[in-house]
Every structure is written in structure tokens, then in C-alpha cells.
Chains A and B, each alone.
Chain A
Amino acid sequence: MLTAEGITKSFMGIHALSGVSMQVHAGEILGVIGPNGAGKTTLFNVLTGLYAPDAGNIFFEGRDITNLRPYRRVGLGLARTFQNLEIFRDMSVLENVMVGGHVRLSCGFWQSLLVTPGKRAEERLLRSQALELLALLGLADRASAPAVSLSYGDQRRIEIARALASHPAMLFLDEPAAGMNPRETELLAGLIAQLRKDLQLTVVIIEHDMNLIMNVCDRIVVMSEGRVLTAGAPHEIRLDARVLEAYLGEEIL
């Protein structure tokens, strides 16, 4: 469904990604793991269009999207959350999620200006769907609260609801469990599995919480120092000597 070939990206001499090739298959939950600084977030940033790679290509459903602007990729069905929470700070929880539905609305300038019946119907639908998403994420009772007033864990959930509001085909989650307690993390794991089942969503997830990764992922890509170290099913990764070595000194598995 998504293929990256030989992606290279460096920042002023730092080789964040050196020739990364990987694939995401339709309908799978793919984990991306690796020590700090391995290049996981940079890979997401290149796949979703924040940075153009220095070399390499990205194909989504057969189409070359290497140089497509981020907003166009969202239109194609890619949505993401952010490692460093990036909720809209001046908005309520509900407004945040409604912004996420931007690409699904068709009202342009004149319909908005003239408040046409079509525009109003579209807004009502967006609002009710946003509320449904908040209910799914367990945030229904916080809909009108300022988004910044919520805990980190809840803000992560706002970001997930906001990403889902665009009705994506593929969802990129960058450390969604960071800031969540074990119980919340467990609920999140259940939710991710449910989303894949109910919405036929393909999920790519970066996470340091190995329990979450091992429980929900069908396949795992291990990164280290800007390269793909190995990829495979969770039980293969768990026993891979190279993975243990990359994490040397960190007791994670």
C-alpha cells in the first residue's frame, strides 16, 4: 500500500535516515521501534511530507508521492499524530477534532460566505461525527473544554480523534502511549485493534512501550542509526540478536 525506497535525509551533517526502504501492507498494524535518535520520527516526517527526502522515493497505492505537499497527502488518506503534542491550543477539544475533518468538507468560499443550506448541513454532520469520534476515544464529556486543559494522555487521544476525522486510509501514530498510564495504554491497544477492524484502517505506530508494540502489531520494523535493522513478526523480533544489541544496555524486551 505504501512503499518507501532508499530514503535518505540528513540535517546539517546528521544522517537521520540513510537509505531506508520499507513497506506498509494494507490492513496491517506495523510497529516502528528503535533507540532514541534512530530516525523513526524523521521517517514519519518524510512519509507524511514535512520533509522532502534528499534521495529515495515514496509510493502510495502505486502513485509517486515523494514530492507531494502534506495537505495533498492528507487528501489521499494519510493522517498522523505528533510525538510532541501539537494540539491547537486556542481551540476546544471538539474544535480540534472538527479541524481534522477539513478535507472531507466541500464548501468553498461562496457557500461559506452565503451560509447556504448545504454548508449548514455539512457543518452539522461534521460536528456530530466529531462528537462520535470523541465518544470512541472516551472524551465525549470533555468536548467543549479547552484542549490545553486536558492531561497529556487525553491530548494524545485528541490527536488520534483529530487524525481519524479526516477518514484516513492509513494512520501514523508517533508514540501515542507516551504520557499514558498502564491502564490507558491498555485501552489504547484495544482501540487500535478495533479501529483496524471497524474502519479497515492501516496503522503505523512508533512506540517505546514494548508491551503495546508486541501486543498489537502484526509486523515490526526495527530502526537504528538511520537504517532499517530488520523487520519481522513480533516473535521473530523479540529473539533477534541484532535488535538486542541495538538496544544495548536498555532493558526493554
Chain B
Amino acid sequence: MSAYVFHVLIMVSIFAILSLSLNIIVGFAGLVSLGHAAFFGIGAYASGLMMIRGMGFVPALFLAGLCTAALGVALALPALRVKDDYLAIVTLGFGIIVVMVLMNLEVTGGPDGLVGIPPAALLGTPLYSKPGFLALTLGFLLVMILSVYALKQSRIGRAWAAIRDNDVTAMFMGINIYYYKMLAFIVSSFWAGLAGSLYAHYTAYINPQTFGMHTSIQILSMVVLGGIGSITGSLLGAALLVVLPEILRPLADYQDIFYGALLVTMMVFRPQGIMGRVKITEIFGKK
């Protein structure tokens, strides 16, 4: 296999982690989030900055996940106090603010971004080869799939499903809806941060634009296309929306048209996504 194929597969697995993580918020707990790429960016910058300052890859990776989760809490604390309608605006604003901050801080390198991020390394051996890095990202993806599946099949997953269905009724099942919504944000942002870290050490160079609105919409599209609430759907959505633009590269000028048409077609003919049961309108049109 050529290096190019490995590159595409690595991007697929990183975006699969991202779409699956967003699916925890949107699909499991039924909340709206429009700034998910910000978590991706925070993880990438946190990890990059720590490694540039000499920290090892593994601790930097997990610390990046934890830092991102901490910011997830910081966002969710006020956001979950407002009604769900406003969550769209709050998360959108959060996404914009994070990019602005990354653009304007000196430590983050401003608009130029961070360069010279050291590669991932395991047991002191740097992972320069693409197959090696692919194995690493697939390993994380696998652990994530198992853990997300375990949560989905538990009391926690049931509480999320109840909240998604009707959060007022969920309260009368003895569910602390505030706690479970918060938990969705924490778990989701942790994994998004980890994806950011993997991405930063893969590309060795990051800049703020990567983590803006465009990427947030892209991740959300993966969730919606694959099917809200479906684990296989998120994986499929990520694979399709990473691979298709690559295939359509010769038609780059028309790529966005195709992409938009695909989503509109899905919304009309299969609003629950390829694998899902829940319709997008049930999340975004919720009273």
C-alpha cells in the first residue's frame, strides 16, 4: 500500500474518534453542539506545547485529553444551565472564541500555528512510519469503541437515552439530568482532545484554521450522515466524509456542492442517517 493510502486511513481513524466523541453529546444525550472542533484543537495545542517543552508522548497525550475534558466542564457548567435551544449558540460561540484565542496568543504561535511538534513515540522509539502511526490510531479507536459501547449498554447509556427522549420525564425516573449531560460533555471532550493530540503529532504542524467552524460542521455531518446515536454510523460517516473528498479531489471546485447535495439528499430521504434510528430533527427541533 502506498503512503497515500496510509495517510487517508490515519485521517479516517482520527476523524472516527472525533465523530464518535461528538455522537456521545449529540446522539446519546441528545444535546446540540456546534463547536466540537474546538475540543479537537485544544487537545492538539495542549499536547503539542507540552511535547515541545520536553514532555513524553504518552503523558502529553493523556494530559491533553484531561485538559480538554476540563475545558469541556468549563463550557458545560454554564451551558447546561440554559435551555437546550441556547446550547447551539453557546457551543457555536465557544468554537469561535477558541479559534480567536489560538490566533492571538503568543505561546500558540498566533495565526502561523505551532511548528516542529515532535512525533509520537512509544517506549522511547519515535513513530515515523505511517503504518506504525496507523496502528496507534486504530488502537485508540478500538479502545474508544469498546468503552463507548460499554457506556451505552449501561445505566449511564440508559440515562442518556432517557434524557435524549424527554429530559423532563427523565428527571422523574430519578435521573440527575444535569450530571449526565455534564458527563456526556466530559467523556466527549476527553476523546476529542486525544484525537487532537494524535493529529498534532502526526502532522507535526498545526494552525488555528484547522479547528474552526468548517471542521465542526464536518464532524457533525459525519455523525448525522452515519446516524445519530449509532456507533457504526459514526465510523461509517467518518470514513465516507474523509474518503469521498479525496476521491473527488479532481473535481475540487465542485466538491462542496457534492458534499452539500449529499447531506440535503440524506435529510430528505433518510433523516435518521445510514445506521441510525433517531432523526436529526428530533435533536435540533427539540422544544
Contacts and interface: CB of A to CB of B under 8 A. Distances in A.
Interface of A: 48-50, 69-71, 74-75, 79-80, 82, 86, 88-91, 95, 98-100, 102-103, 105, 107, 109, 112-115, 119, 122-123, 162, 166
A82 B155 CA distance: 23
Contact of B150 (A48, A113, A166): A113
Contact of B176 (A71, A98, A105, A115): A71
A82 B154 CA distance: 26
B239 to A, nearest CB: 25
B173 interface: yes
Interface stretch (B31-39, B87-95, B164-172): B164-172
Contacts of A49: 171
9 contacts: A71-B177, A88-B165, A88-B169, A90-B277, A99-B162, A99-B173, A99-B175, A102-B173, A113-B154
Contacts of B175: 71, 99, 102
Given A74-B173, A88-B161, A103-B174, 15 more contacts: A48-B172, A71-B176, A71-B177, A80-B172, A86-B168, A88-B166, A88-B169, A99-B173, A100-B173, A102-B155, A102-B158, A102-B159, A109-B156, A112-B150, A113-B147
B164 A82 contact: no
B174 A86 contact: no
B151 interface: yes
A102 B156 CA distance: 9
A74 B172 contact: yes
Given A107-B155, A109-B156, A50 B150 contact: no
Given A91-B161, A107-B155, A112-B156, A86 B169 contact: yes
Interface string B169-193: 1111111110000010000000000
B278 interface: yes
B5 to A, nearest CB: 34
For A75, A90, A91, A109, the residue with the greatest tally of chain B CB atoms inside 10 Å of its CB is: A90
A112 B173 contact: no
A95 B158 contact: yes
A80 B172 CA distance: 7
Contacts of B168: 50, 86
A95 B162 CA distance: 10
Contacts of B277: 90
Given A99-B162, A99-B173, A109 B150 contact: no
B172 A109 contact: no
Given A99-B173, A109-B183, A114-B150, A90 B164 contact: yes
B231 to A, nearest CB: 15
Contact of A162 (B150, B166, B173): B173
Contacts of B164: 90
Max chain B Cβ within 10 angstroms of own Cβ: one of A98, A115, A123: A115
A71 B171 contact: yes
Query: Could you say which of A86, A107, A114 has the most chain B C-beta atoms within 10 Å of its C-beta?
Result: A86
Contacts of B151: 112-113
A112 B166 contact: no
Given A88-B169, A90-B165, A91-B161, A112 B155 contact: yes
User: Which of B161, B172, B177 lies at the interface centre, i.e. has the most chain A CB atoms within 10 A of its CB?
Assistant: B172
Contacts of A89: 165-166
Contacts of B156: 109, 112
A44 to B, nearest CB: 10
B273 to A, nearest CB: 14
Contacts of A95: 158, 161
A99 B150 contact: no
Nearest to A126: B155
Nearest to A86: B169
B277 to A, nearest CB: 6
Contact of B158 (A82, A98, A119): A98
Nearest to B170: A99
Contacts of A166: 173-174
Given A70-B171, A80-B172, A115-B150, A91 B155 contact: no
Nearest to A82: B169
A171 to B, nearest CB: 12
Interface in B120-164: 147, 150-151, 154-159, 161-162, 164
Contacts of B166: 86, 88-89
The 10 closest A-B pairs by CB, nearest first: A74-B174, A103-B174, A112-B154, A88-B165, A70-B171, A86-B169, A99-B162, A105-B155, A71-B174, A71-B176
